[in-house]
Copies of this chain bind each other. A is one copy, B any other.
């Protein structure tokens, strides 16, 4: 079928290509002419504006996939498109929008009979090759209408073993996409996915720091090990309980540089982790691990928060402790648990 693709970054560009490989026709737009031309070379129909893109999608109902990184850009684009589209047309937001924004947008677009589909898309830079895992929210007819698109983007069953005992609830799940529920449900499920992702990553991260610090100079001599982290990551990929795709990525990074010296350790977060914690709070779920993972990222971006200065100030207040001024080197750090300082 024919579909529009707006936003040709790492994600949108690759998705357009995967759709074309599957035989779909893709009309593309991006603010960057270079990005448009690159796709045109690969077979896409270029357009120089949203209006032109809409025009080139002649047949009703039109389907347009918006794949923009930032929530605010998505909102603007959706608003602009709303003025160009006709009743029955379908807008898909494939980015990482906040699910409550989806609910509001869907309501507004419904007033003009434009159908809005929110699609959480996982797979990162690997998706073009492996296929994208998609969690979809919105009206059933629209989701069903778009099925050829989702089927083309999804990884399909591949050689991943079937889940034993699985009943045929939604057969699409085994091919890598689901209709999760009404508007917002797709991005909600993707949001929790990312919240979990933060937790998983932090669990590995802490574990590998414990392994690495096991060589700390102030541990007893025979309790110090110089562990080979690349080998450990590798062996855990094979038959252990903690094997995962994230571990595969960690193993690849460690294989390249066991010290990870090219990484600063300053870690961004992208919104979904925050929203996941907020959802947990709304639902009274004690999400201790997901929150701790989020906070580790916050802290990684500070030098010293005000909180830490106040701790020092209070310690000085009751004990006269003057804190050391220089941060220790993180690598050979270690405990002096039997030598209380005050």
Contact = CB atoms under 8 A, between A and B. Distances in A.
Most buried by B among A130, A192, A286, A338: A286
A141 interface: no
A307 interface: yes
B285 A296 contact: no
A241 B124 contact: yes
Number of copies: 4
Contact of A234 (B166, B198, B289): B166
B292 A289 contact: yes
Contacts of A242: 122, 193, 196-197, 200, 244-246
A70 B193 contact: no
B225 A185 contact: yes
A312 to B, nearest CB: 4
Contact of A201 (B181, B228, B314, B339): B314
A284 B268 CA distance: 11
30 contacts: A69-B340, A96-B342, A100-B223, A122-B236, A124-B241, A133-B238, A160-B238, A167-B230, A169-B230, A170-B231, A173-B230, A193-B207, A199-B200, A199-B204, A199-B206, A201-B310, A207-B276, A209-B307, A253-B316, A263-B312, A266-B304, A266-B325, A267-B308, A268-B315, A277-B281, A281-B335, A284-B334, A285-B305, A299-B299, A301-B333
Most buried by B among A163, A169, A232, A334: A163
B323 A264 contact: yes
Contacts of A185: 225, 227
Given A266-B325, A285-B307, 16 more contacts: A71-B338, A103-B222, A107-B222, A166-B255, A178-B231, A184-B225, A185-B225, A189-B211, A195-B206, A208-B310, A214-B283, A242-B246, A253-B313, A260-B309, A274-B335, A282-B334
Contacts of A239: 122-123, 127, 130-133, 154-155, 176
A112 interface: no
A330 B302 contact: yes
Interface in A96-145: 96-98, 100-101, 103, 107, 122-127, 130-135
A103 B223 CA distance: 8
A34 interface: no
